[in-house]
Amino acid sequence: MDQKTVILDKIPFEIDIPRLFERLRIEEDDDMAEDVVALVKEASGLGRPKGIYSTAYIDEKDDCGIAAGGIRFVSRVMRVNLDKVHRFFPFVVTAGVELDQWARSYGSGLERYWADCIQEAILRCASEYVRSHIVANNSLDAGGVAVMNPGSLQDWPISEQPKLFELIGNVKEATGVELTDSFLMLPVKSISGILFASDSNYENCRLCPRENCPGRRAPYDATLYERKYK
């Protein structure tokens, strides 16, 4: 079946200022608040977050992984998560090269830290937009989808990232996102992964023992891998 690729290069976004202040531990009446708001205005004028995704149809499944579009992915967790589906949606989302250059212009001080947090807020908006786009255009149920990201778990290591990019195709041309030799994405404020239909409330975090992670979305379940994926 043909693989359809969708490029989203005009993603609207709005930064949640109270949430940003909370992240930066700044009060609204703080002297620094005005400086942060000025940076938000700059970023809002310059920002061009982008996303790309495709529809991948599964060719084969075995104990250790799956193949789609002629590309084999090795991950037991992915294999089990995709057990009941025949397709999934590989994606890349980025805050964009424009904001990356803007943030770099602030060097390495406090303003740079704020600029990085602003980029993260914009990336979050863009990710939600891309997720909603996939759901709305593929007859999916918003409450019945889950996401996996290469590199989040040992089971699906970051070294699988080039295959994900290959499966999507034209990622750099469409979004400006490229991979380093160690498979990290540049700009760094980018996310890659697969979205799939699932009624299991899957979250990478349930399988990830990392302590004190600020991005944790679900508690670690120490026996989940043994129970469900082994």
Pick one of 55, 127, 152, 192: the residue that binds ligand SF4 (CB under 6 A).
152
Using the rule CB under 6 A, which residue among 81, 119, 127, 204 binds ligand SF4?
Answer: 204
Which tokens belong to 147?
A: 């996401």
**Mask 75-114, x = binds ligand SF4 (CB under 6 A)?**
----------------------------------------
* Contact residue for ligand SF4 among 46, 184, 213, 222 (CB under 6 A): 213
Sign of CA dihedral 83, 131, 54, 98: negative
Indicate whether 205 belongs to the interface with ligand SF4 (CB under 6 A). yes
Region of 7-15, 44-52, 127-135, 207-215 interacting with ligand SF4 (CB under 6 A): 207-215
Count of C-beta atoms within a 10 Å radius of residue 142: 9
Residues 125 and 49 sit within 8 Å (Cβ to Cβ): yes
Question: From the list 59, 216, 221, 229, which residue makes contact with ligand SF4 (rule: CB under 6 A)?
Answer: 216
List the one residue from 208, 224, 228, 229 that touches ligand SF4 (CB under 6 A). 208
Backbone angles phi, psi at 147, to 5 degrees: -130, 140
- Asked if 117 contacts 37 with a C-beta cutoff of 8 angstroms, the reply is no
Query: What DSSP designation does 1 have?
Result: -
Binding to ligand SF4 by residue 210, rule CB under 6 A?
yes
For ligand SF4, which is the closer residue by CB, 7 or 208? 208
- C-alpha R_g of the chain: 18
Instruction: Candidates 38-46, 86-94, 175-183, 211-219: pick the segment binding ligand SF4 (CB under 6 A).
Output: 211-219
Give the bridge partners for 65, in sequence order: 62, 74
Q: How far is the CB of 189 from ligand SF4 (least distance, A)?
A: 15
Return d(Cα 186, Cα 73) in angstroms, integer: 22
In the numeric block, which tokens belong to residue 17? 């200022």
Q: Is 163 in the site for ligand SF4 (CB under 6 A)?
A: no
| Interactions with ligand SF4, residue window 33-62 (CB under 6 A) | none
Q: DSSP 3-state assignment of 135? A: helix
CA distance 79 to 76: 5
Q: Binding residues for ligand SF4, per CB under 6 A?
A: 152, 204-205, 208, 210, 213, 215-216
